[in-house]
Amino acid sequence: MTSTEHVAATAPSQRPGEATSYAIRTSGLTRRFGDQVAVDRVDLAVPQGAIYGFLGPNGSGKTTTIRMLLGLIAADGGEIEVLGRSMPRSATEVLPRVGALIEGPAFHPYISGEQNLRRLDVMDATADPATSGTRITAALARVGLTAAADKRYRNYSLGMKQRLGLAAALLQPRELLILDEPTNGLDPQGTREVRKLVRDLARDGMTVLVSSHLLSEIEQVASHVGMMVGGTLVRQGTLEEVLADGAPSVRVETPDRELAHRVMAGLGLAPTASAGDAPLTARMDDHAVEVIAAALVHAGVRLHGLNVDRPDLEDLFVSITGEGFDVLR
């Protein structure tokens, strides 16, 4: 699986020499469950204003990390800083500025979506009762649930329940939004709406951390990514920086396959030996595409097509681990 382009949100510009401000930073973050190390010395760095895709297979430590960020479980080691404050020491100051959807929302099944949001708002000591109705209406509209506001939660589809959880996270103005698998249960249209919502929130200045095992979805929206494998953060940076770690490949379409194979091998490439009329492909490593094309043409190879395929996040994951992304750890 390869991609030739991606659509990504753009993080705030940074002048040369300017220090980066972080919405989330951790150092050596570690959590054990008995003898098992679930999160192993993770150093997260989520810039303010970024859409940070927190990626990894189910069971890779993403949710455990998020729960430590929010003070829901204690770390066994390391330091956590959220919105410039130490956690969990500053939780009472920090958490009202953070919206979160973690492991699916918990709502009362026998009352409506709107009533559930009103119930949550009443329980929030930082919420202004005078603006409750306006904020609830706006949150429902933002996630596309206005028409289902009076419907009982028990009759919501899984996707509608996920959207109501997003609405709950947006009841108050937030500086940071943390979403754990926010597109679970959503149809393609709902997934597109969540992507648009995340982009809109980032455009308004909010930092968004999205945890997901759906790499293709994150690749369409993220400005930064971190990749977890077996409790370890194996890659982190801007989307472009992380994708640059994967080697591009060249794909050559020609009727002169044997000659093209010899020329490419002579350049130090290792073209595939696929049968029939399938294109020859090879990792480019440090070879420039113009050098490859010139060598083929000079040797008399008739080129019907020559393309460079850039790796996507799934390709990169497989190259790092040798495993598919649905592997449980």
Residue 312's CATH number: 3.30.70
Q: Distance from first CA to last CA of the chain, Å, rounded?
A: 23
**End-of-domain residue from the set 243, 278, 296:** 243
* More confidently predicted of 158 and 299: 299
Q: Which two tokens stand for residue 277?
A: 């009329």
CATH number where 167 lies: 3.40.50.300
Check residue 13 and give its pLDDT: 40
9, pLDDT greater than 90: no
Confidence bin at 58 (pLDDT 50/70/90):
confident
Cα 313 vs. chain centroid, distance in angstroms?
10
8, pLDDT greater than 60: no
7, pLDDT greater than 50: no
Find the range with the poorest average confidence among 208-212, 298-302, 307-311, 318-322.
318-322
* More confidently predicted of 201 and 18: 201
**End-of-domain residue from the set 243, 265, 289:** 243
pLDDT (average), residues 58-62:
88
**End-of-domain residue from the set 243, 265, 290:** 243
Check residue 219 and give its pLDDT: 87
310, pLDDT greater than 80: no
Confidence bin at 37 (pLDDT 50/70/90):
very high
Structural domain span for residue 274: 249-321
Residue 313 and residue 223 share a domain: no
Rounded-to-integer distance, Cα 192 and Cα 206, Å:
19
Domain-embedded: residue 326 = no
* More confidently predicted of 247 and 183: 183
Residue 31 and residue 120 share a domain: yes
Burial string for 103-136 (b: 16+ CB within 10 Å, else e) reads eebebeeeebbbbbbbebbeeeeebeeeebeebb
105, pLDDT greater than 90: no
Cα 234 vs. chain centroid, distance in angstroms?
14
Rounded-to-integer distance, Cα 245 and Cα 227, Å:
12
Residue 265 and residue 203 share a domain: no
Domain-embedded: residue 168 = yes
Burial string for 258-295 (b: 16+ CB within 10 Å, else e) reads eebbebbeeeebebeeeeeeebbbbebeebeeeebeeb
12, pLDDT greater than 60: no
pLDDT (average), residues 261-269:
90
Residue 232 and residue 144 share a domain: yes
Domains held by the chain: number: 2
Mean pLDDT value across the chain: 86
256, pLDDT greater than 80: yes
pLDDT in tens, 109-160: 999 999 999 999 999 888 999 999 999 999 999 888 999 999 999 999 888 8
Nearest to 54 by CA among 198, 181, 191, 227: 227
Check residue 160 and give its pLDDT: 87
323, pLDDT greater than 80: no
Q: 């709902």: which residue's tokens? A: 190
* More confidently predicted of 79 and 183: 79
202 neighbors 208 (Cβ within 8 angstroms):
yes
Residue 128 and residue 24 share a domain: yes
* More confidently predicted of 105 and 153: 153
* More confidently predicted of 209 and 247: 209
User: Rounded to 5, what percent of the chain is helix, strand, coil?
Assistant: 35, 25, 40
65, pLDDT greater than 60: yes
Check residue 275 and give its pLDDT: 65
Find the range with the poorest average confidence among 69-78, 142-151, 316-325.
316-325
Domain-embedded: residue 327 = no
Domain-embedded: residue 286 = yes
